[in-house]
Amino acid sequence: MRLRVLGCSGGIGGQQNRTTAFLLDDDILIDAGTGVGDLSLAELTRVDHIFVTHSHLDHVNSIAFFVDSVGALRPKPVTVYALAETIAILKRSLFNWDIWPDFTVIPTAEEPWLRYEAIEVGQVIDLGGRQITVLPAVHTVPAVGYLLDSGRGSLVFTGDTGPNDALWVVVNALKNLKFLIIETAFSDKDRRLAELAMHLCPAMLGEELEKFTLEAEVYITHLKPSEIELTMQEIEELAVKSRPLPLHNNQVFEF
């Protein structure tokens, strides 16, 4: 399996600041933030599946533009996998004909450009031998993370989450973990905001990584563009065995 980082920023502003989106092989998106816009039309057309962590705009906004751009070029609908609660939010608040058309009935309900598939925490979806497991997350809206497993190796993406004991129960039981991508959205001076928004700051990240018992490369996502250096400095000063590194656009992980 090959994961390419299309966007990993907590905001926009400049070529390196694209919001969360990952391309798995050439046919699966993990979240669909602004980073999806850097794919060519041909690359977009090959995407059959979108796994959504949660409904916040920085993770889903490009679904609207993506389907509008390539729906007519594809032989079948793209499938959006998400919690039932997340699907309800997308239907109510985004694909509602007020903000954007409902592509589950375009061009017809019988042959739409978009379809939804509800998932649950703990569920394993197998796509041609590639296993995607739905992981628990703790956020202000219903949310999940994902475990991507090729059989030879695996990668965990936490999604947006605050402190999350249930995650570590699953992660620490893995036998082939190579990479952990975990969020840190705020610097320590904004810890109270991080707690309210159910994100992590460096001090909270340190508390979470103390629960992590495996040897794997750790990467930080969702950094705020205005505080990247400060937040990474605070992360570098943590007394944890892993040495987290910042995630970058176009970084590629093979596992």
Fold classified for 2-254: Metallo-beta-lactamase; Chain A (3.60.15)
pLDDT greater than 90 at residue 218: yes
Q: Where residue 202 falls among pLDDT bands split at 50, 70, 90? A: very high
Domains in the chain: boundaries: 2-254
For range 38-58, the mean pLDDT: 98
Side-by-side strand order, sheet with 252-254: 114-119, 78-83, 49-51, 28-32, 21-24, 2-7, 252-254
Residue 254 phi, psi dihedral angles, 5° rounding: -120, 135
- Residue-wise pLDDT for 116-171, tens only, equals 999 999 999 999 999 999 999 999 999 999 999 999 999 999 999 999 999 999 99
Q: Where residue 45 falls among pLDDT bands split at 50, 70, 90? A: very high
pLDDT of residue 248: 97
Decide if 217 contacts 189 (C-beta within 8 A): no
State the residue for tokens 């007519």.
72
- Residue-wise pLDDT for 91-103, tens only, equals 999 999 999 999 9
The DSSP letter of residue 151 is S
Mean per-residue pLDDT over the chain, rounded: 97
- The H-assigned helical ranges of 46-117 are 57-70, 84-93
Q: Give SS3 for 217.
A: strand
pLDDT of residue 15: 87
